[in-house]
Structure 1
Amino acid sequence: MEILYWAIVIIMFIISFVGLVYPIIPSVVFIVGGFLLYGLFFDFKSFNYLFWIIEGLFVAVLFAADYVANLIGIKKFGGSKAAIWGSTIGLLVGPFVIPIVGILVGPFLGAILAELIVHQKDIKTSIKIGAGSLIGFISGVFAKAIIQLMMIGYFLFTVL
C-alpha cells in the first residue's frame, strides 16, 4: 500500500506542474493536496509549524511570481493596466478557444486587444506590448516551476 500512497502523492505533484501551462488547474492546491494526502496516508508528525510557515511563504511567493512576471513583461514594453487585464483574460480564455497553443496566443492577443481598444495605441506598439506579455508569462512559468520544485524538495527533505 505504501507504493500506492506514494504514487498518489506524486500524481498530485505532477498535476501541479500541468497547471503551469493550463492555469485553470490550480497548481498550489495540488501541491498542498499532496502534502495533506501524505499526512493522511502516513502521518502528520513530520509537518511541524515551521514546515507550514515555510510552505506558506512559498505559496505567497508563487502567487507573487505569477503576477510580478506578467507585470514586468508588460510594463517593460510600455503596456498599461488594461494590457495586464487583457493578458490575464487571454490566459484564462485562450486554452479553451485555441487548444494547446491558446496558452501562448491568449495572453499575447489579450494584451494587444486591450491596448488597441482601451488606449487606441497603434498596432506596432500593441504587438510589442503583447510580446512583453508573452515574455512575462513564460518567465512566470519558469519562476513558478522553480518555486514548486523547491516546495516539493522541502517536503521531501522534511518527510524522508
Structure 2
Amino acid sequence: MDVLLLIIGFVCMLIGILGSFLPVLPGPSISWVGIALLYLTKAIPANYWVLSITFVIVLIITVLDYTIPAQGTKRFGGSKYGIWGTNIGLIVGILAPIPFGFLIGPFLGALIGELLFDSKNHGRALKAASGSFIGFLASTFIQFLICVLYLILFVHLVWQYKTQLF
C-alpha cells in the first residue's frame, strides 16, 4: 500500500508542476496532495507542521494567482476598467475552447477594459494589457517555483525514509 501511495503522490507532483503552467489544473494544490499522500504511508510519520505550513502556502498562492495579473495591470497604469477586464478575460480565457486562451484572455480583457475607459489612448491601454501579461507570467513562475520546492520536499522525504518504504 505504501508503494501505491508513493507512486500516486509522485504522479500528483508531476501533474502539479504541469498545472503551474496550465490554469485549468491547480498546480500547487495537486502538489500538496502528493505530499499529503506521502504522509499517509505507514513508513513516514505524519508531520502536521509541514502539512499545515505547505497548505497555508497553497492557499496564499491560490489567492495570489487571481490577484497578481490584476495588480500587474494596475502597476502599469491601468484603471479599474482594465483590472476588471483582466479578471473577466482570465475567466473567459480559461473557459474558452481556444489554444492559449488563458494567456490571451487577461491581455485582451485588460486591453478592452482600458479602451472602454479611454478609447483615444491606445498606448496606455496597451501598456496596461502588457502589465496584465507580465503579472500572469509572474504568477505562473511563483506557482512553478512552489511546485518544484514541493517536489524537492517529496524527494527528500522519500530519500530519508527509503529503507522503510522499500
Structures share fold, TM-score greater than 0.5? yes
Question: What code does the residue aligned with 1:9 have?
Answer: G
Backbone CA RMSD of aligned residues:
2.6
What corresponds to 1:69 in structure 2? 68
What corresponds to 1:46 in structure 2? 45
- Alignment of structure 1 residues 11-50 onto 2, 5 Å: 11-40=11-40, 42-43=41-42, 45-50=44-49
Question: What code does the residue aligned with 2:28 have?
Answer: V
Query: Deviation of residue 68 (structure 1)?
Result: 5.1
Counterpart Cα distance in 2 of 1:82 and 1:155:
42
* Consecutive unaligned residues in structure 2, runs of 5 or more: 161-166
Query: Deviation of residue 18 (structure 1)?
Result: 2.6
Counterpart Cα distance in 2 of 1:96 and 1:84:
19
Cα gap change, 1:11 to 1:100, in 2 (>3 Å): farther
Query: Deviation of residue 93 (structure 1)?
Result: 2.0
What corresponds to 2:122 in structure 1? 123
Structure of larger gyration radius: 2
Per-residue Cα deviation, 1:25-65 (whole angstroms, up to 9, x for no partner) = 2223312322233344x238533222123213322442354
Counterpart Cα distance in 2 of 1:97 and 1:72:
23
Q: Give % identity.
A: 32
What corresponds to 1:137 in structure 2? 136
- The answer to whether structure 1 residue 87 and structure 2 residue 86 are counterparts is yes
Query: Deviation of residue 123 (structure 1)?
Result: 2.6
Counterpart Cα distance in 2 of 1:15 and 1:138:
19
Query: Deviation of residue 135 (structure 1)?
Result: 0.8
What corresponds to 2:7 in structure 1? 7
Cα gap change, 1:4 to 1:64, in 2 (>3 Å): same
* Consecutive unaligned residues in structure 1, runs of 5 or more: none
Instruction: Give the alignment's TM-score, normalised by structure 1.
Output: 0.79
CA contact (8 A) 2:27 2:143 kept: no
May I ask how many residue pairs the two structures share in their alignment? Answer: 158
Question: What code does the residue aligned with 1:37 have?
Answer: L
Instruction: Give the alignment's TM-score, normalised by structure 2.
Output: 0.77
CA contact (8 A) 2:89 2:106 kept: yes
